[in-house]
Amino acid sequence: MPSIHVPKSAEPLLCFCRTATEPADNACFDTYAEMVIFAASLGYKLTEGKKPKGQIEGTKQVYPIDLDIFKSQGLFQNVLLMALATEKSQEIIRDENRICRLIEGFAHQGFSEMETILDKTTDTTFHVELAKLLRKAAKEHLA
């Protein structure tokens, strides 16, 4: 079954997931799948939907996430929307492995940006900065 690898770039941020071994007090993601979708969505926005280049190295700290997990958690529609918008063709729907690589690339971009945000803040205010990102994106969308 196709799976999405959590990019190595996520490693400094894994503690912000409640399923991590030692989650931060202000963990803001309940599952790694939710965390990956947030990062991929951020990466998609940052790259303006341009297809990520190159293969992404996955972290060894988290097992690859089976695509069915995204489906069961109600996150798969986000995966499909990013894939369809990027490829501008329904052909991608038939290639779940290609979809997974695309999401990994966007997630890598998003995790890299999230790490930059973390470097400028603290562990205790990081979640506030993520909330500000969401608010800004919503305002831009409604404008």
Question: In the chain, what are the domain boundaries?
Answer: 3-142
pLDDT in tens, 99-127: 999 999 999 999 999 999 999 998 888 98
Q: What are phi and psi of 125, to 5 degrees?
A: -115, 0
Q: Rounded CA gap, 90 and 115, in Å?
A: 33
DSSP 35: H
Q: Is the Cβ–Cβ distance between 17 and 27 less than 8 Å?
A: yes
| Burial grade of 29 (CB within 10 A; 0-12, 13-18, 19 or more) | buried
- The rounded Cα 30 to chain-centroid distance in angstroms is 13
Q: Where are the alpha helices (DSSP H) in 9-125?
A: 32-46, 67-72, 76-87, 96-120
Name the amino acid, one letter, at 45: K
pLDDT in tens, 69-96: 999 999 999 999 999 999 999 999 999 9
The pLDDT value recorded for residue 23 is 82
CA atoms within 13 A on the CB side of 103: 33
Helix (H, G, I), strand (E, B) or coil at 66: strand
Q: Rounded CA gap, 27 and 36, in Å?
A: 14
- Kind plus residue range of the DSSP H or E element containing 3: strand 3-4
- Kind plus residue range of the DSSP H or E element containing 65: strand 65-66
The pLDDT value recorded for residue 138 is 85
The pLDDT value recorded for residue 16 is 93
